[in-house]
Amino acid sequence: DTEVTQTPKHLVMGMTNKKSLKCEQHMGHRAMYWYKQKAKKPPELMFVYSYEKLSINESVPSRFSPECPNSSLLNLHLHALQPEDSALYLCASTPDQTAGYGYTFGSGTRLTVV
């Protein structure tokens, strides 16, 4: 298995809802990432989980909350989002955060906040 699988592919949620995005990989990679991508812009790094240690981009608001139940699974919990949070959310993994062996990305979740 050489893929990063993201679910759901599309999500529409209200500003008072709580939802979660899921990311899974079975390549034995030890580092996983969440990126946010707005239209016609490059991806922006939100969170890094490496060997069960979380690194946060300090500009990411607290309404986004990552969770790593195990080394193959990375969730992104969403609560009280704003319309400007509508974007494509991408998950990625690498063998090791320091290995430099290249990133594998998932197909993304298209999130719309109404």
CB of 16 to another protein, least distance (A): 26
Q: Are strands 4-7 and 18-25 parallel, antiparallel or unpaired?
A: antiparallel
Least CB distance to another protein at residue 10 (A): 10
Stretch that binds another protein, among 12-20, 59-67, 79-87, 92-100 (CB under 8 A): 92-100
> Which residues, numbered 27-56, are part of the site for another protein (CB under 8 A)?
41-43, 45, 48
Asked if 103 touches another protein (CB under 8 A), the answer is yes
Closest Cα to residue 111, out of 27, 7, 5?
7
SS3 79: strand
Count interface residues toward another protein (CB under 8 A): 22
Torsion sign, CA atoms 98, 100, 101, 105: positive
